[in-house]
Amino acid sequence: MKYRLFSSRIILAALGVAALFGITGCLHYGVDLKLMDDGFKPKGKSIAIISGTKQPQNVALATMIGDSLRKVSRYQVTSAEHLSRALSIYPVTIKGPYRSAYLGSIDTDWTLGDRQKIADIQHALGVDYLYVIWAPTALQRNGNDATVPAVAQLFEQPGTREVAEMSITVIADEETTYLKEGVDEIARKLAEQTHMAIAAKK
């Protein structure tokens, strides 16, 4: 629990711009996952969740998603220690699937991104799946809450084939309640839609 609070504070501390918008309604997150193949079936279990930028809020978010995915899925999530051993430098900056990211807005273009660098990282980690999340910008919202937009992609070996695209918005709050809701929803959708949820049949 202390780690989640610490991670949320890292996210909040990384913000330095005025609020322009918030998430409306009862939900405190927005998570949209699109599979490239509706008939996708997992071929392996090992997965690494990594940050696509060096920004503290991005690294913290990736770590929290990994923690949540361990609890709700049959994925074998790579540890922080393995990331450190396998990669000479982590976190790293990876060109992501967007034209620009400014003041809480991500201009997404899924055809962009440094696929070669992603392939090299997946090969170095030796995992069946690599989930890369980019949270390059964040917005201060009301009081101590912050809206954090992100995009993510899931890749499968061999060939670092793109499996899924995800558009995300979560709220970071000091109590971590909203942030945990968003992170858990990301992990739940990832597990369920790739047929790796604990309750899913093998």
Q: Give a yes or no: residue 82 inside a domain.
A: yes
- Dihedral-angle region of residue 116 (phi above 0 means left; psi in -120 to 50 means alpha; beta otherwise): alpha
Query: Number of C-alpha atoms within 13 angstroms, CB side, residue 151?
Result: 21
The tens digit of pLDDT for each residue in 80-117 reads 999 989 998 999 999 999 998 876 678 899 999 999 99
Q: Give a yes or no: residue 46 inside a domain.
A: yes
pTM metric for this prediction: 0.84
Q: Give a yes or no: residue 117 inside a domain.
A: yes
Average pLDDT over residues 41-51: 96
Q: Give a yes or no: residue 110 inside a domain.
A: yes
For the chain, the average pLDDT equals: 83
Q: Give a yes or no: residue 199 inside a domain.
A: no
Confidence category of residue 55, pLDDT binned at 50, 70, 90: confident
Greater pLDDT, 2 or 142: 142
Structural domain total, the chain: 1
Domain of 18: which CATH number? 3.40.50.10610
Nearest Cα to Cα of residue 128 among 200, 56, 77, 80:
77
Q: Give a yes or no: residue 149 inside a domain.
A: yes
- What are the angstrom distances between the C-alpha of 133 and each of 75, 87, 175? 17, 17, 23
Q: Give a yes or no: residue 200 inside a domain.
A: no
The tens digit of pLDDT for each residue in 11-24 reads 444 433 223 233 44
Q: Give a yes or no: residue 21 inside a domain.
A: yes
Per-residue pLDDT at 148: 86
Range(s) of the domain holding residue 84? 2-193
